[in-house]
Amino acid sequence: MEKKREELMSEPVVYIDGRFSSKSRAKISVYDHGLLYGDGVFEGIRVYNGIIFKLKEHIDRLYRSAHTLLLQIPLTKEEMIDKVLRTIRINGFKDAYIRLIVTRGVGDLGLDSRKCPRPTIIIIAEPKIELHQNKMGIRAIISWVKRDSVDGTTHEVKSLNYLNSVLAKIEANNAGVDEAIYLNQNGHIVEGVAENIFVVKENIIITPFTCSGSLPGITRKEIMKMAARLGYKVEEGNITPYELFNADEVFFTGTAAEIVPVIEINGRSIGDGKPGPITKLLIAEFKKLIQDPSQGISVF
């Protein structure tokens, strides 16, 4: 018993359908449609200093994604919040990255979801996530892989179907840069592989409409509100590659990425090739926001 507990605590503990197991023992069925078909939804969530940042907003988005896919989550939102809190508590993390997943569940080898009686719920927590650590700015390419259109695999839904993102990331890796940026079928800028994108031009802050095919990002929304509070004009709009190359500043936002300056795109330097003043100001303000207990739900 004592050994089992020690083993449990030496590595992160994962929640699967009401049970906790150590990371190396956490397993799901090979018949799970999350694996077989990417049929499921997820959220990436951060814990800062014992506060789960924007947890309610993440849970709301998870349920909107599931609603769109006609995936009936067998827990109320309150019960789901409780499971997330318990997972962080049992892990004892003050700071963490959480991956909350709901799959269609275990079925047969056909893709008929009626054969999956119960969704699988998985909550993973890691003490940290490292993404785009280079605070001096990153380099990106516009990918030849276009963002999935606003259709069955739209990225407005945070589904387990991320092949579109994985492919563009491979292209970025092969090009020796940090990140890829998507165009939609109209040739307008959409987002990064797992980040929303913003452009600053003449002190106006612009981000693509979510109907361009991007995820309605929770960080995106916070940055839009924050920039408006700071007195900047903030707009949603269509952005062309030309406008991106000739922006004064470009930055990505996301739960894992936070705010990341982009200083070069397809070999063109952005602005003077350094993180710009508005990006730097937003990074500083965002650091304050994530430490504000009223911005999330307390774990302990």
Q: Which residues bind ligand PMP (CB under 6 A)?
A: 44, 155, 191, 194-196, 214-215, 217-220, 253-255
For ligand PMP, which is the closer residue by CB, 45 or 116? 45
Supply the minimum distance, in Å, between the C-beta of residue 214 and ligand PMP: 6
Which of 95, 98, 100 lies closest to 125 in space, CA to CA?
A: 98
Supply the minimum distance, in Å, between the C-beta of residue 219 and ligand PMP: 3
Supply the minimum distance, in Å, between the C-beta of residue 22 and ligand PMP: 26
115 labelled catalytic: no
For ligand PMP, which is the closer residue by CB, 215 or 239? 215
Residue of 158, 221, 225, 287 marked catalytic:
158
Supply the minimum distance, in Å, between the C-beta of residue 78 and ligand PMP: 21
Instruction: Indicate the helix (H) or strand (E) that contains 41.
Output: strand 40-48
Answer for the pair 119, 71: CB distance below 8 angstroms, yes or no.
yes
Count of beta carbons in the 10 Å neighbourhood of residue 111: 13
Answer for the pair 227, 249: CB distance below 8 angstroms, yes or no.
no
**3-state secondary structure (DSSP) of residue 265:** strand
Which of 124, 115, 136 lies closest to 273 in space, CA to CA?
A: 136
Find residue 196's DSSP bridge partners.
253
Answer for the pair 109, 32: CB distance below 8 angstroms, yes or no.
no
CA separation for the pair 171, 144 (Å, rounded)? 8
The amino acid that residue 241 corresponds to is P
Pairing of strands 258-265, 138-142: parallel
For ligand PMP, which is the closer residue by CB, 179 or 195? 195
Phi, psi for 40 (deg, rounded to 5): 175, 180
Phi, psi for 75 (deg, rounded to 5): -130, 150
For ligand PMP, which is the closer residue by CB, 15 or 182? 182
Supply the minimum distance, in Å, between the C-beta of residue 209 and ligand PMP: 14
Supply the minimum distance, in Å, between the C-beta of residue 21 and ligand PMP: 26
For ligand PMP, which is the closer residue by CB, 191 or 264? 191
For ligand PMP, which is the closer residue by CB, 88 or 168? 168
Structure tokens of 136? 């001096």
Taking the mean position of all CA atoms in its chain, how far away is CA 3?
A: 36
Q: Which residues are catalytic?
A: 158
